[in-house]
């Protein structure tokens, strides 16, 4: 009887950890200039972000209200200290458009690096 109880507790703990690992994280960003994300141009304004995964396997949804505007992959980057404010990082593309390369979140010690290894390095420095 006690073994069944202990096994049940272990199963419950495993379910909680599995659910936590799959839970989506959220954040927000403000775009001041037209900015491209994975081929979709974002107009200036406020956007929500939702992502799932860890490390290099993060899938990000960019939302305006409840509507998904764009999706992209990203990497969670550990920062040296919590960010003092929400900030976005952009880079110029070959056709001189701005492309989103990262987002940091006020009070968080991580950021989202979107794109190549250079984006990850740039975001980690902020």
Q: Cα separation of 36 and 120, whole Å?
A: 17
The verdict on residue 38 lying in a domain is yes
The verdict on residue 5 lying in a domain is no
The verdict on residue 114 lying in a domain is yes
pTM value is 0.72
What does the pLDDT look like over 56-102, one tens digit per residue?
789 999 999 999 999 999 999 999 999 999 999 999 988 878 999 99
The verdict on residue 115 lying in a domain is yes
Residue 56 DSSP class: G
Which residue range forms the structural domain that includes residue 34?
24-125
Q: Please state whether 57 falls in left (phi above 0), alpha (psi between -120 and 50) or beta.
A: alpha
Q: Shortest CA distance to 43 belongs to which of 124, 98, 117, 104?
A: 98
Q: How many domains does the chain contain in total?
A: 1
């Amino acid at each position: 009887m006690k073994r069944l109880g202990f096994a049940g507790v272990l199963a419950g703990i495993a379910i909680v950890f599995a659910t936590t690992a799959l839970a989506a994280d959220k954040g927000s960003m403000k775009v001041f200039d037209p900015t491209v994300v994975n081929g979709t141009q974002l107009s200036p304004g406020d956007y929500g972000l939702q992502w799932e995964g860890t490390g290099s396997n993060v899938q990000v949804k960019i939302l305006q209200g409840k509507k998904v505007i764009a999706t992209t992959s990203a990497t969670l980057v550990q920062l040296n200290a919590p960010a003092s404010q929400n900030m976005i990082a952009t880079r110029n593309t070959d056709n001189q458009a701005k492309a989103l390369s990262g987002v940091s979140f006020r009070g968080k010690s991580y950021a989202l690096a979107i794109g190549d290894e250079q984006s990850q390095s740039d975001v980690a420095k902020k």
